[in-house]
Chains A and B, each alone.
Chain A
Amino acid sequence: MAVGEEQKRSPREQKMLLADSNGQNMTALFSPRFKSAAAMAGWDEEALLLASLVVEDTPDRDSKHKRRFVLHSKTPPTNSSRKRRSQRTPQPVAILDLDEEETPRKDSGRKKKGKKISEGSKVEEGGNELTEKNPGVSSSSSVLPCIDKLREELSCAICLEICYEPSTTPCGHSFCRKCLRSAADKCGKRCPKCRQLISNGRSCTVNTVLWNTIQLLFPQEIEARKAAGILNGRQQAQNLSPESAFYATLMNRSTPPSGEASGRISRRNVATTTSRTQEDEDAALARRLQREIDEQSPGTTTRSRVHNARMRARGGISTSQHEDAALALRLQREEFMQTYRGSQEHVSSRLPSSTLARANLRSMASRAMNLRISDRRR
């Protein structure tokens, strides 16, 4: 914060200094040769100084003129322009300058992005055409004449595949973030390409420009790798604990934005509108259900904690009661798991799984409600 303030203040102070001791500064700015040249030419030094002042102020004056014209001079035009100059702080001008500098940059960035997108779409289109022509060849390859070279350039030297979330070393070499991290862990903190020391192997930041470019150029590879990553993540989740895996899969299945759900819809060619609303309903139901369960499971939310405290305040029986509740919950969850597994099997045997899943969710909801009611009664 302090630094920012200083930065803000410093240009103003500089300008003020310039305005205050303008004459002295100007003379100091002139090189001795210039002075001698002026003397040789026999020019008046004061006149030179005045001229320099005019030169110095021209941009300011221009802007002032513009502003005056724009504001169609409601305030009476004062003849002492120097006074106004000293009153007016040059800060807004500086800010304006910054804006002016930044806006074209943004624009150019947008343009570039637009171009890239159009290129990407071209690539995709070309790829589609290619696949239509000869479906054996993988699409998006050899669409652009330089695509093979691009692939070579944009591939990670460690895994030899297209860089996934590329991270760039201080020496300018890019690798997959994961690859670079494991290389730093296992082979020491040196760049795999040039052996230069990587200052800190832990701070692997993704080179966003490169990453976006790669995603635009090789959408299919990246999608495939993303899908693989999700799969791995799911497997890990299943390894962690059955309950969490159950919830993870539940969330994945029921939330419409997840790729799998939408994929399922498109695969089956169901009337999308109805199924989507169903899925939405399912998702909402699942979320509500989980919230309720979370609230009831001891020690997860503040509400339940408060509840616990109240129960403890009431008497010693409460803990056992809660244990009972927890046991019941666990049993219920196991039941859910079983029913869920059943539904999964049905999925594999191509029965309408959405109806089954909905039924399961309904039953879960009703059970949760019952549990809550019984808890309240207690």
Chain B
Amino acid sequence: MISGGGNSSWSCSTSSWVPTTSVSASGKRIQREMVELNNDPPPHCSAGPKGDNLYHWIATIIGTPGTPYQGGIFFLEIKFPSDYPFMPPRVVFKTRIYHCNVDSEGLVSMGILKDDWSPALTITKVLLAVRSILTNPDPYNNAVVPGIAHLYLRDKAKHDDIAAEWTVRFAK
């Protein structure tokens, strides 16, 4: 269930440090995305390189009002593979979250971050997609925590209570 297939492509990005002066296609593309994010930031989201490594980003998502995650600030870590636009980035929640599509390590499981990835997708779109699964969890296809998915389907109120409690505890 957990996207193990992508691991080979992640490792190369983490092991080989790529400087910002790199003129590789992936570096250029990431730089361009950074510029666009600064010029036109998506609502309730922010993202940018963690340090001087262009392939390692930190992002924040503010919990959408009307959901059990409202008011919470969720930090995410984004790691780009070296062949980035052609391989999906790896998105991990650094803030603990009670969600059926986020495993205990914080790894986000979404179709577009796995087989449905398209090189035309950008980090902005990925962040918007993450925000959308906070509003509408996907308990069927990408449920990496079956217990939460079951609870969500069986007793949504209880699920929302727990999620809200986690949000208060970890994301504020």
Contact B119 A187 (CB under 8 A): yes
Q: Report the Cα distance A283→B33, complex, angstroms.
A: 45
Q: Is A72 an interface residue (CB 8 A)?
A: no
Which residue of the partner chain, among A157, A160, A190, contacts B36 with CB atoms under 8 Å?
A160
Minimum C-beta distance from A280 to chain B (A)? 35
Q: Report the Cα distance A157→B83, complex, angstroms.
A: 15
Chain A: interface residue total (CB-CB under 8 A): 14
Question: Residues 172-197 of chain A: 1 if any B CB is under 8 Å from the residue's CB, otherwise 0?
Answer: 00000001001100110010110100
With a 10 A CB-CB cut-off, give which of B25, B32, B86, B87 has the most chain A CB atoms: B86
Question: Residues 249-292 of chain A: 1 if any B CB is under 8 Å from the residue's CB, otherwise 0?
Answer: 00000000000000000000000000000000000000000000
Q: Is B29 an interface residue (CB 8 A)?
A: yes
Contacts of B85 in A (CB 8 A): 158-159, 179, 183
Q: How many A-B residue pairs have CB under 8 A?
A: 39
Minimum C-beta distance from A174 to chain B (A)? 12
Q: Is B169 an interface residue (CB 8 A)?
A: no
Chain B: interface residue total (CB-CB under 8 A): 16
With contacts A159-B25, A160-B29, A160-B36 taken as known, whether A192 is within 8 angstroms of B87 at the C-beta atoms is no
Q: Is B118 an interface residue (CB 8 A)?
A: yes
Contacts of A182 in B (CB 8 A): 86
Q: Is A20 an interface residue (CB 8 A)?
A: no
Q: Is A161 an interface residue (CB 8 A)?
A: yes
Q: Report the Cα distance A157→B117, complex, angstroms.
A: 13
Q: Is B120 an interface residue (CB 8 A)?
A: yes
Minimum C-beta distance from B49 to chain A (A)? 17
Minimum C-beta distance from A159 to chain B (A)? 6
Q: Report the Cα distance A190→B119, complex, angstroms.
A: 11
Q: Report the Cα distance A279→B124, complex, angstroms.
A: 52
Minimum C-beta distance from A82 to chain B (A)? 65
Contacts of A160 in B (CB 8 A): 29, 32-33, 36, 122
Q: Report the Cα distance A193→B85, complex, angstroms.
A: 13
Contact B119 A179 (CB under 8 A): yes
Contact B86 A161 (CB under 8 A): no
**Which residue of B is nearest A186, CB measured?**
B86
Contact A192 B119 (CB under 8 A): yes
Q: Is B28 an interface residue (CB 8 A)?
A: yes
With contacts A157-B119, A159-B25, A192-B119 taken as known, whether A183 is within 8 angstroms of B86 at the C-beta atoms is yes
Which residue of the partner chain, among A159, A183, A186, A192, contacts B29 with CB atoms under 8 Å?
A159
Which residue of the partner chain, among B29, B32, B118, B122, contacts A195 with CB atoms under 8 Å?
B118
Q: Report the Cα distance A219→B152, complex, angstroms.
A: 55
**Which residue of A is nearest B28, CB measured?**
A159
Contacts of A158 in B (CB 8 A): 29, 85, 119-120
Minimum C-beta distance from B72 to chain A (A)? 31
Q: Report the Cα distance A160→B28, complex, angstroms.
A: 9
**Which residue of B is nearest A195, CB measured?**
B118
Which residue of the partner chain, among B32, B117, B120, contacts A161 with CB atoms under 8 Å?
B32
Minimum C-beta distance from A192 to chain B (A)? 4
B residues 107-137 near A (Cβ < 8 Å) are 116-120, 122
Minimum C-beta distance from B37 to chain A (A)? 12
**Which residue of A is nearest B26, CB measured?**
A159
Measured CB to CB, the residues of B under 8 A from A are: 25, 28-29, 32-33, 36, 83, 85-87, 116-120, 122
Please list 18 pairs of residues, one from A and one from B, whose beta carbons are closer than 8 Å in the complex, sorted by A's number: A157-B119, A158-B119, A159-B28, A159-B32, A160-B29, A160-B33, A161-B28, A161-B32, A182-B86, A183-B85, A183-B86, A183-B119, A186-B83, A187-B119, A190-B118, A192-B120, A193-B120, A195-B116
- Sample of 19 more A-B contacts, CB < 8 Å, known A183-B86, A192-B120, A195-B118: A157-B120, A158-B120, A159-B29, A160-B32, A160-B33, A161-B28, A179-B85, A182-B86, A183-B85, A183-B119, A186-B86, A186-B87, A187-B86, A187-B117, A187-B118, A190-B118, A192-B119, A193-B120, A195-B116
